Structure 1
Amino acid sequence: MDTDIKLRKGVSKDESLIGSYLTQGEVMHLALQDNMGLFSVPVNYGYYNGKIYIHSSKKGRKIEALHKGGVIGFSVLVEHQVVAKDDPCKWGCAFKSVIGAGVPRVLEEKEKLAALNCIMKQYSGKEWVMSDSGIKAVDVVEIMVTSISARTVEKD
């Protein structure tokens, strides 16, 4: 079997492009697995300096799967447009996206405030003062990225 994997058109490992797309994104989809099987869940996230953070309630299927610590997948779609053609077999999509895999690490209490502010800054552009009770009410997870790439497909 050939172990060389050919990169698809528009795929990039460029860290600045990946960072740009993750900064622009609004929703990340996680691919998780538990004893009931595979599932996907959309989450809000924060990205800063190569690190991805998400938050969760302390109970539920998502956080239980994350606590197991196995490899997870993630994706962010930044832009998307269907490109129609005269021939239905020529239709396609123009898009900007990021896909990757990583291992979740549930943060300790002392690490949570900075990570929660990273998430808030993703959406509001600023840092917030948060109550201790609010911080304690959630789990915060860092996704330790093991592989990541961006893909850009332009309109033809």
Structure 2
Amino acid sequence: MSTAPDATVDALVQLSFAVQRILATVGAERELSVVQMRLLGIVRDRRIGMAELGLHLGLDKSSVTGLVTRAERRGLVQRSPSPDDGRAVHVTLTPLGRDWTEQGAAEVGAAIGELTARLDADQRALLTSLAASLVSGRATPR
């Protein structure tokens, strides 16, 4: 089955909108923007430097600093000096940030589960494989 490029673009954009809507809805329940949700998602399983965090978020240094400062004020993240570079700072979740991240991930997972519920197990596996290939930049076996 061949799909026109415009149909692929439209489908992917519409899917992106649906996922962004889920993230925005879950975030709004905690007064978090989508970017703040992304911040928590990035630091949930790692200790990360500010520069690397900026790369993940596609933000410049001052924007990352402001984002982290706001999250820190809310008690969601904390900064600590890098053990390798006295000038660098790492960001990690606080216990409250971890709780919010786990709850938010569960809610996002449930909502995306509802979105994909109409797919059968094979279709979900294929969607997972294709999406992983697109975001990693590697080709998928046919």
- TM-score above 0.5: no
Q: Which has the higher helix share?
A: 2
TM-score when normalising by structure 2: 0.31
**Structure 1 length-normalised TM:** 0.29
Bigger strand share: 1
Higher relative contact order (CA 8 A, sep 6+): 1
